Every structure is written in C-alpha cells, then in structure tokens.
Chains A and B, each alone.
Chain A
C-alpha cells in the first residue's frame, strides 16, 4: 500500500525531473534522448499511479 504522502512526494519528484532533466542534464543534447526520457518517465508514472490505485 502506497501512502498518500509518499505518492505526493514521488509525484513532485517526477514533475521536477520532467522540467530539469531536459533543461539541465540533457540540455543541448541532440537526438531522441529527450523524447525517450519524457515518454519513459510518463509510462513509469502511469504504472505507479495504476499500482497506487489498486491498493
């Protein structure tokens, strides 16, 4: 069972990463990495939400 506070903290982390990985770590990196990062983290987050809601 995922606690609501853990859910909120994890979600906030995901949102921060969605801003700061492309504009920080991957800034100026050519190619599909940013596309793959945004897609991958969104898929992972959807799975996390699905697991959290099945509790």
Chain B
C-alpha cells in the first residue's frame, strides 16, 4: 500500500465516523449521567456492538493474530476461556449492575463499590488503580494502530503520526457526545471489525490454501497443547485475569448501565456472545493459517509477533490492506475511547465530586479535562513502545484482578466494608506489581494465581471481622427480584 492510499482510507474512516458521532449528538441530554451512561436508553444494536467493540480491540487483530502465529492453537483456548468466563459473569452480575444503576442512577462502576462498602475511599482507590492499570492497555491499542499503519504503508506512515491520529480520533469521538458518540461509532466500528475478520480469513485462504485446504499438520508443534509456549502454568497465568475481565475492567462494566430494559440487556449478552465467538475463531484461524504459509514459504517468517498483521497488510492487495488497516484502527479507537470515557467519569465522580462536593457543577468539565490528560498519558506511553500488545493487555488485567473478589462479594456476601475492600485492592495490586517486576513464582505458582489467592483471602479474612455497612441489603436483595 502506498502512503496516499493509507491516508485516503484513514480520511474516509475519519469522516464517516465523525459524521456518525455528530449525528449521535441529537440523542444526548446535556447532563453528566447521560454523557456517561446514556441514562439507560441504548437498544439492542447499540448495546451489543458497543459492548463488543469496547471489549475486542487491537489486541485481537494484532495481538491475538500474532500470538496464534507464534504460539499455536493454545491462543484459541486462552481467548475462549475469557469468552466463557465473561458469559458466566455477565449472567450473574449484569442484571444486578443494571438494576442498581436503574434504581440509584450510579454513573461510574467505582461509585457502586463506594455505596456497597460504605466509603468513598473504596471508589477513589478503585479509580486510582484503574487509572494506573488501564494506561498500558489503552496505549497497547495505539501501538497496534501505529504498527499496522507503518506495516501497511511499508514505513511511509511514521509510527508517531499514527499514534497521534489514533489518540486524536478517540478523544474527538469521546468529547462530541460522550457515550452516545462512542456507542454509535462503536456500531460502525464493530461491523467493520467483523466484516474485515471474515474478509481477511477468506482472502488468506483463497490466496494460500485454494485447492489444497488448510491442514493443521502444517503447524507441527504449534498444533499441540501443551507445547513449548503453552505450558499449563502459562495458560493458567494468562487466563486467570482474562477470565475476570468483565467485572474488573471498568470500561465494560459501565456498558452494563446503558441497555434500556432487562430484555435488551439479555439480548446484548447473547448477541455479544455470538459476535465474540465468531470474531475469536476468525482471528485465531487467521494467525494459524499465516503460520502454515510461513512453513511452506509463502509468507515471510516473523519473529516479532505483533508484526504479523502489519506484514500481511503490506503484502495484501490494496483493498484488503485498506479494510485491514481501517479495521485495526476501528478496533483500537473503539476501545481507547471507551476506556478514556470511563476513566474520566471515575475521576470526575469518585475523586473530584467525592472530595469536592461543593464544586459538583464543574464535574462534567473535570471529566472532559481528564479525557485530555489521559489521552496525553497514553500518547507518551505508546511512543515508548514498551512491549508486546498481549503482554501489556494481560498486565493491565492482572493489576485490575484484585477487584474480582470485591465486585463478586458485593452482591453475594453480607460481610465486609471499607477495610476489607480497600486492603483487598491494595494487597492484590502490590502482589501483582512485585511478582511482575521480580519475575518470582513462589511455590512454582505464577503471578496471577498469587494475586487472586491473596486478594480473595484478604477479602474473606478481613470481611469476616468487619460488619457490612448500612444499606447493604439493597445489593444482596437485588438478587431475589424478578428480572
């Protein structure tokens, strides 16, 4: 792809997306709650594709394709454990979050935790941990786009330019109408992502396997589980934080507030499942097929796994390259803007408004200003190119993992308050950080096993001695209500 084609395709995507974002503005009521949660007015299409596009990111088109290419079939299991875990958690947790939001009008996920554990310290702690943890994840999206643009254009589009374009688009589409512009552009982007997934798999198949079919035997040791990469310990370590993604990542938790009624919420979960499963299988198959083509000499060997998709885009015909690049951009932007929006709502609500209640009228301004600061932080992080996309994504989820017992316990246990929640979050975060940087694996158990064990034990032990705050019955009783 030449430089001009890349810029024209990005420009068309930008114009179409911005037109959709501006169109969505007519749905926005100009208040804080509507800006961040749509006041629970999303229909099935918006809710489903917004959830899917926020969840599935450059991690899929760049990270998972590369992971499947370099490590084999185990990559599919890693992503499908996430998929099944998400369905389980959504089945139990989504109706509870939705009802709590509907009844009390909570805007940020951290605010719900503050209410349940009876202290604004809990919400502030969750917010601070999320701010630290999600910057690597959001940045990994930008890295994905920049690598794809660089690869697709054969280096004609500099990495720095692509980083700036991706961040600017995400910021613009978040600011225009908050969740409404993010949601409507997610619909547009979610459809592009799935369509392009099909297109790329079909094209690679017809290019490399027409007449002979794809045979797993081509993959050698990569068709085995376990193999040199996917030991049971590695599989466990990578799947644990991913399994709990749906309750630990605030950008997807906040999406549970947006469906207009219980029927829409149920449809959202089921259609998201269909989308996610299809997308996962397509993307993994793409990586495996490309590896097969490397073994028979048709596709160049790639040692840096995040370069697999960019290399493909650079080699493919112009129309595939254009769709591929736009799909990577769509996958990234739809996740970044969701993260920026959610984090800004948490900063405004759980830190600014909680501690400066007299200045509450400025909270929408604070939210928008936070968007800008976060975008800048992601740009700086992305320009440093700190590591593989999959590793950055898993690191983010690892740091958010200590929230799992706090969120699940919120609805099922009548013990625990400020101390149990706060100590759980801090201890789990410290364990994750220490083990990540020291690369230690005490008793041979990987980092994320220790993080979930320590945070769960701290939650249960302290909670055992700490009575739940007043009003806790609202969170527990919500289970028995008709849904």
Is there an interface contact between A34 and B277, defined as CB atoms closer than 8 Å?
no
CB within 8 Å for A23 and B232 given contacts A15-B85, A43-B277: yes
Chain A binder among B155-163, B222-230, B339-347? B222-230
Q: Which of A23, A32, A49, A52 contacts B223 (CB 8 A)?
A: A32
- Which of B77, B87, B243 is A38 in contact with, Cβ under 8 Å? B77
Q: Is A42 touching B84 in the complex (CB atoms < 8 A)?
A: yes
- The reply to whether B81 and A39 form a contact with Cβ atoms under 8 Å apart is no
Known contacts A14-B84, A15-B85, A31-B217; A49 and B224 CB within 8 A of each other: no
Tell me whether A52 and B77 are in contact in the complex, defined as CB-CB below 8 angstroms, given that A30-B224, A42-B83 are known contacts.
no
Assembled-state Cα–Cα distance A43/B269 (Å) = 14
- Map CB proximity to B onto A8-25 as digits: 1 under 8 Å, 0 otherwise: 100100110011001100
Known: A11-B88, A31-B223. A53 touches B269 (CB 8 A): yes
| Contact residues in B for A43 (Cβ distance below 8 Å) | 277
A7 to chain B: which residues have CB within 8 Å? Answer: 91
Q: Does B73 lie within 8 Å of A35, measured CB to CB? A: yes
With both chains docked as a complex, state the minimum distance between the C-beta of B175 and any C-beta of chain A, in angstroms.
Answer: 35
Flag if A18 contacts B273 (CB, 8 Å). no
A-B contact count (CB 8 A): 87
* Bound CA–CA A31/B92 (angstroms): 36
Cα–Cα, bound, A18→B254 (Å) = 29
Contact mask for chain B residues 280-304; partner A; CB cutoff 8 A; 1 contact, 0 none = 0100000010000000000000000
- Structural contact, B274 and A46, CB atoms closer than 8 A: yes
CB pair B224–A29 under 8 Å, yes or no, is yes
* Cβ–Cβ contact A22 & B225, under 8 A: yes
How far apart are the CA atoms of A4 and B84 in the complex, in Å?
Answer: 16
Closest CB of chain A to B334's CB: distance in Å?
22
Interchain nearest-CB distance for B40 vs A (Å)? 19
Please report the C-alpha to C-alpha distance between residue A43 and residue B305 in the assembled complex, in whole angstroms: 28
Report how far A17 CA is from B92 CA in the complex, Å: 21
Selected from B76, B232, B270, the residue in CB contact (under 8 A) with A49 is: B270
Q: Is the CB of A49 within 8 A of B226?
A: no
Within 8 Å by CB of B225, from A8, A34, A54, lies: A34
B168 at the interface (CB under 8 A from A): no
Please name all residues of chain B whose beta carbon is closer than 8 Å to the beta carbon of A45 when the two chains form the complex: 84, 87
| Contact B224–A28 (Cβ < 8 Å) | yes
Task: Note all chain B residues with C-beta closer than 8 A to A22.
Answer: 74, 77, 225
Which residue in chain A gives the minimum CB-CB distance to B95? A53
Query: For residues 216 through 240 of chain B, which have their beta carbon under 8 Å from a beta carbon of chain A?
Result: 216-217, 223-226, 232, 235-236
Interface pair B216/A30, CB less than 8 Å apart: yes
Chain A neighbourhood of B224, CB < 8 A: 28-30, 34
Question: In the complex the two chains form, is B216's CB within 8 Å of A31's CB?
Answer: yes
CB contacts (< 8 Å) of A27 on chain B: these are: 225-226
Contact A26 B225 (CB under 8 A): yes
Chain B residues within 8 Å of A, Cβ to Cβ: 73-74, 76-77, 80-81, 83-85, 87-88, 91-92, 216-217, 223-226, 232, 235-236, 243, 266, 269-270, 273-274, 277, 281, 288
**A residues apposed to B, CB below 8 Å:** 4, 7-8, 11, 14-15, 18-19, 22-23, 26-32, 34-35, 38-39, 41-43, 45-46, 49-50, 52-54
Known: A49-B91, A53-B270. 17 other contacts (CB 8 A): A8-B88, A18-B81, A26-B225, A32-B216, A38-B73, A38-B76, A38-B77, A39-B80, A42-B84, A46-B87, A46-B273, A46-B277, A49-B269, A49-B273, A50-B273, A52-B91, A53-B266
Question: Can you offer 21 A-B residue contacts whose CB atoms are under 8 A?
Answer: A15-B85, A18-B84, A19-B235, A22-B74, A22-B77, A23-B232, A26-B225, A27-B226, A35-B216, A35-B223, A38-B77, A39-B76, A39-B281, A41-B84, A42-B83, A49-B87, A49-B91, A49-B273, A53-B91, A53-B266, A53-B270
